[in-house]
A and B are shown apart, each in its own frame.
Chain A
């Protein structure tokens, strides 16, 4: 039952987006998230959507995959849209009931917000879909490198992330095994109320916890056997290279920002 968990939801490929330097990709994603909040009307937002669609097309990801990442957020999007619909006043009143008032401006505002959130989610999942988990942690380690000056244990954090990612499938497998073992002894995990089900998980979690500590101890020993002594003097097999295509990607992002700001100046805001 726990077998279909995918780690970091990486979708391997060899597209232009896949081959971008992961550091650049992380920074561009952050920039894009900021960019989504720049436009004040549909022209600018349309540009943001166009950018996203182009990026997805370049990545050659199946659209179904992106839908999968938006689907769980859908209730939240609808909820915020609904709140905004009634919260923002102005424009013509379309419908009224007690204190609830639906205005044309509210409607536009809600739609605008929904599109923004979808862009945000889709944009950031594009990063995790096209970048492997280890590459991602590696890139984070390098990006956060300067923080070492103020004594942030950057290498240690990255190493913890790497190990956590490595052990997710192992622990999932183990949880499955323990659950089967407890079921074989008559444990009932599928019936009863919420509280009862939570209680039924205790005999699964305790052995899992104990074995995790044992694993941690053994892993520490194995790492010592392999001469691990912290981040100092460590080299990496895979070097990250920034190339022409990374520069081009940054240029396109800058272009997006410029276009959005200009559009904001020249066209009227909808809000």
Chain B
């Protein structure tokens, strides 16, 4: 089961290759993503996380190094469609990714581009809309939905292409808390129940906590890479790059700094409560 679907090798990227001293958005990234995993890429603005995401479905091509999607080099123009139907990408602003006025017609857009027969498209659209819980809205006007609903329709539009891997570039950044919950719920379910490989780009640590693996980026390279527990236990290093850690982790960190003997890898509220209770009971 440890088959890899995405592989980045020494990837560098600059937005202005014609400059004599170009500024690099990516400065040598090595990353492998396994099939069926849930990876969160965490970092604040300008760390290169979105640039990296756009490499995974050939929207951007590396200036140096290689990106392999299911073994296909993304620079291979002949295979571009194959790359894009393997890795589906959901963008930040739901308003700017819906193409059609009607929900079901929008979801059909991807499969239509792939030249899939009409009956099969109908089946895929219905299935995708059911997966994200928007089937009842299939005939609604897209612009009348809430932000979270629009983003779920956008996810359905990608799912209808039946990708192996879903890359989401800050899908919750423009949403209200309710919409954010809906979308995160959908993403989690896709990974757990449908076995979809998920790469979630985010600035919010609370969204990253649910992942199997967290990759922290800073200055165009990977700073930390490990399970949420491993990554969040490195409180000082995360603070250096101005990233938050979950509140229980931070509390325990501060207590430990003041001499209290607490574990370093506390992540959830329950763990924190248990640890503190044990400490108080002596």
Contact = CB atoms under 8 A, between A and B. Distances in A.
Interface residues of A, number: 30
A134 B89 contact: no
Q: Is the interface of B mostly helix, strand, loop or mixed?
A: helix
A218 B112 contact: no
A6 to B, nearest CB: 11
B89 to A, nearest CB: 4
Nearest to B91: A222
Contacts of B157: 226
Nearest to B157: A226
A227 B161 contact: yes
A166 B99 contact: yes
Interface in A164-198: 165-166, 169-170, 173
A237 B105 contact: yes
B43 interface: no
Interface stretch (B8-16, B116-124, B250-258): B116-124
Given A227-B85, A227-B161, A221 B115 contact: no
B110 A237 contact: no
B101 interface: yes
B84 A224 contact: yes
A64 interface: no
B135 to A, nearest CB: 15
A170 B125 contact: no
B113 A238 contact: no
A173 B95 CA distance: 11
A228 interface: yes
8 contacts: A226-B161, A227-B114, A228-B109, A234-B112, A235-B111, A235-B115, A237-B108, A237-B121
The 9 closest A-B pairs by CB, nearest first: A222-B97, A237-B108, A218-B96, A226-B110, A169-B143, A237-B121, A227-B113, A233-B115, A225-B89
